[in-house]
Chains A and B, each alone.
Chain A
Amino acid sequence: MKRLRSAVELEQLRVKILNERKPEKPCISICGGTGCHAYGCENVAKAFKNEIKRQGLSKQVELKVTGCHGFCERGPLMVLHPQKIFYQRVSPDDVSEIIAETVIKGNIIDRLLYVEPVSGEKAQFEEDVPFYKRQQRLVFGNNGLIDPTNIEDYLAIGGYSALSKVLFNMQPEEVIEEINKSGLRGRGGGGFPTGRKWESCRNALSSDGIRYVICNADEGDPGAYMDRSLLEGNPHSVMEGMVIGAYAVGAHDGYVYVRLEYPLALKNLGIALGQAREYGFLGQNILGSGFDFDVKISRGGGAFICGESTALMASLEGKVGEPRQKHIHTALQGLYSKPTNLNNVETWANVSLIINRGADWYSQIGTEGSKGTKIFSLVGKINNTGLVEVPMGIRLREIIYDIGGGIPRGKKFKAIQTGGPSGGCLPESLIDLPVDFDRLTKAGSMMGSGGMIVMDEGTCMVDIARYFVNFLTEESCGKCVPCREGLDRMLDILTDITEGRGKKGDIELLEELGGLLKESSLCALGTTASNPVLSTIKYFRAEYEAHIREKRCPAGVCKALITFMVDSEKCTGCGVCLRECPQEAIFGEKKKPHTIDQSKCIRCGLCRDSCKFEAIIVA
């Protein structure tokens, strides 16, 4: 492929690609995201490949392994285009039937359709599935249409047209103005206005003119994986945003800092970079415009703190990933002390959308202070686990019940945790809260990178607070005292409470320490670290008090405070638990109710897991 040298050549290539493609040709799109991978989607893809070959259909049927479609709960997923017939839980055994019945004859295979659990209704097409119906998938929706390893798929849906528009029809200042007008705010957590960041970076003094742009793909929040899915599924959309950003701020070198645990993202990004260079979207004289820009990939070292911009930059320089004080912003002095503009993956992926469709269109979506859509990962105790893209301002209830399908096994909703380890837990009374940057912060949580972990009545909020503080204690870099020592102390107190050693005054001490961390920590990890504790105390104080005063864990989670017992009404004396128990703590005669010897029980829960009759109760 010869490098494209002008906007005209790009459009000519696009026309050529589109002419070669027949929209009516059946195309099987298989979700190849990490979730579906874990379900074994590559075997499904292999089976399709073999079957298509066996039946000599290679010319008539197209097969595409794409990035994540979002509905991880029902993987492996496939969509048959152009009708958009949606099949879920597809196994290699279904493949020959799908080809024979659906692809060739157009018949629907009933058992592979998604069934709405409440109404029992079946959905034939992707857009009929309630999970997708309520979403607005502007950024994420293209994942299902493109093979991320084929740049022509991206060009076929209009890829790099925003870049061409910017390079040939807009001054850098106009680009920044457009982004400013759109109201786009950083999707990585902070929510800083993107246009303003670009502006300060462009205007910052650099003695030798060197500036950098960085894509932060060190997605470390547990339970959040939208950035990975974008990089895996649509890497060029992120790249296009970066080149536009580089043009706007005047940078010629860029970095993508990718979390080490994301091998597929690294691979697909690497392929995308190679193709972008080959076609002339990266490198010297991009599209013949005279603008030069290239990107290097840097693998993270597995430190949560490196998601913080100054720590990330230290790590890029080959140093220990410790943050520094930000009295001088990184936009002025960042990587190698040069003006540096860092944005998160999802932010970059929004850029070409804004340029293509205009800031006026974009800013109609969302709420007053938060524009556009946001991708959330909806996980935990929820029926429809997956990635959802919704307009800002949507209510939590709509996300949890209309899209997420509610709580499994008829359990009761208890709380939703947003914003990653430094976010907060919101109770049922706030379920009608519209979701945007400012409202989440006001409620004591935050947007963060968009993790949403749903919790039911079986989740202990003190244990959850302890879990996050433990996480942050391990991930604290240790540079500043409040974060290093404060978190350690908070962890001690929370561990005491969950292990039955809680005492009067502990809650107040936690609140005091939490306030101190907020005021005096060096970076955002420390200043937000007490959110999970303070928000659970605020909304679930009674649960803390039950642990401290009554030495009782109402949710039945904290090991030291619970007892496993046999419900003699339900126990059939089958003996399974007796055999499973590693402590030989269960005894009883065959076909008669068994008993647990509390002095031997280590509360491992194996008996409860193995009992088919739900005869093991926790109190």
Chain B
Amino acid sequence: MVNDYEKVKAIVDRYGGKHDSVIAILQDVQSEYHYLPEHALRAVAVQLGLPLIQICGVATFFKAFSLKPRGEHTVTVCLGTACHVRGAPAVLDEVKRQLGIEPGNTTDDMRFTLETVNCLGACALGPILVVDGEYQGQMSSRKVKKTLSKYKKTPKDRRHEEIAVSG
């Protein structure tokens, strides 16, 4: 935990400990941990000399922040208007069914986190599904299963399996 405290402190120091940098600090903390752990929020509050409630207020107000740990892959369904009229709701329904979770949640095996976004501005390709930043355009509910199956096994998994076997 000492290490973690130092990690957060380094981030806060980068912004000169200024109160108006709360959002930027939390963004950097989140890119470090992929979510905002409680201890980090507490550390930010202490170091900035702000009440914890104010930090939590910001952390829960903005969509960019997650208070829950996130999965290995992030699946994002674009729900912009252009994607909506081209059938994004059906795509989202299918993703929900395939992963068995609602948007904002992570599968129990910590493999996938499902999110929605209001628009990615790549409307020509709508409906769009994004997996780990990779755009999968002209999506349909039928293509969802195949698209996700590519991510069910990654090199990292296989490495884990190998380690498990050799261990």
Contact = CB atoms under 8 A, between A and B. Distances in A.
Interface of A: 34-35, 37-39, 72-73, 75, 220-225, 228-229, 260-262, 298-304, 315-321, 377, 379-381, 385-386, 417, 421, 451, 453, 455, 459, 464, 467-468, 471, 477, 580, 582, 604-606, 609-610
A125 B133 CA distance: 34
Contact of A379 (B20, B123, B137, B141): B123
B62 A223 contact: no
22 contacts: A35-B123, A35-B125, A37-B122, A73-B124, A222-B82, A223-B81, A225-B121, A261-B119, A261-B120, A262-B121, A298-B24, A299-B27, A301-B26, A301-B65, A302-B64, A303-B63, A317-B19, A386-B124, A459-B85, A464-B84, A580-B142, A606-B141
Contacts of B73: none
Contact of B80 (A223, A262, A298, A300): A223
Nearest to A478: B61
Most buried by A among B65, B97, B137, B141: B141
Contacts of A39: 125, 137
A81 B119 CA distance: 33
B141 A303 contact: no
Contacts of A417: 81
B135 A299 contact: no
B94 A606 contact: yes
Given A38-B137, A381-B86, A610-B142, 11 more contacts: A225-B121, A229-B121, A261-B117, A299-B24, A301-B64, A315-B23, A321-B62, A377-B121, A380-B81, A386-B124, A455-B85
Contacts of B120: 34, 261
Interface in B20-76: 20-24, 26-27, 54, 57-58, 61-65
Contacts of B22: 318-319
Contact of A223 (B63, B119, B141): B119
Contacts of B114: none
A385 B124 contact: yes
Given A301-B27, A302-B64, A303-B62, A318 B123 contact: no
A142 to B, nearest CB: 19
B90 interface: yes
Given A316-B20, A453-B81, A72 B123 contact: yes
B130 to A, nearest CB: 9
Most buried by B among A35, A580, A582: A35
B106 interface: no
B132 to A, nearest CB: 14
A377 B82 CA distance: 10
Contacts of A321: 61-62
Contact residues on B (Cβ < 8 Å of other chain), bracket: 35 or more
Contacts of A464: 84-85
B93 interface: yes
A301 to B, nearest CB: 3
A324 to B, nearest CB: 15
B61 A225 contact: no
Nearest to B94: A604
B113 interface: no
A583 to B, nearest CB: 10
B154 interface: no
Given A320-B61, A605-B141, A220 B118 contact: yes
Contact of A453 (B20, B26, B85): B85
B77 interface: no
Contacts of B61: 301, 303, 320-321, 477
Interface of B: 18-24, 26-27, 54, 57-58, 61-65, 79-82, 84-87, 90, 93-94, 97, 117-126, 128, 135, 137, 140-142
A385 B123 CA distance: 7
A72 B57 contact: no
B138 to A, nearest CB: 10
B141 A38 contact: no
Contacts of B27: 260, 299, 301
A224 B93 CA distance: 24
B123 A225 contact: yes
A298 B23 CA distance: 9
Nearest first, the 9 closest Cβ-Cβ pairs linking A and B are A301-B62, A225-B121, A222-B80, A302-B63, A379-B123, A222-B119, A302-B64, A379-B82, A72-B124
Nearest to B27: A299
B91 to A, nearest CB: 10
A75 B93 contact: no
Contacts of B24: 298-299
Nearest to A470: B79
Contact of B23 (A72, A222, A301): A301
Contact of B57 (A223, A320, A468): A320
Contacts of A228: 121
Nearest to B97: A582
Contact of A467 (B65, B81, B125): B81
A299 B81 contact: no
A320 B128 CA distance: 30
A340 B83 CA distance: 36
Contacts of A304: 118
A75 B138 CA distance: 14
B125 A38 contact: yes
Contacts of A73: 124
A604 B90 contact: yes
A302 to B, nearest CB: 4
Most buried by A among B20, B58, B119, B121: B121
A451 B65 CA distance: 27
A302 B122 contact: no
B122 A38 contact: yes
A145 B79 CA distance: 33
B20 to A, nearest CB: 4
Nearest to A321: B61
B125 A381 contact: no
B152 to A, nearest CB: 17
Nearest to A582: B97
A458 B160 CA distance: 48
Contact of B93 (A34, A459, A604): A604
Contacts of B126: 379
Nearest to B119: A222
Contact of B142 (A38, A75, A221, A606): A606
A220 B117 CA distance: 10
Contact of A224 (B84, B119, B128): B119
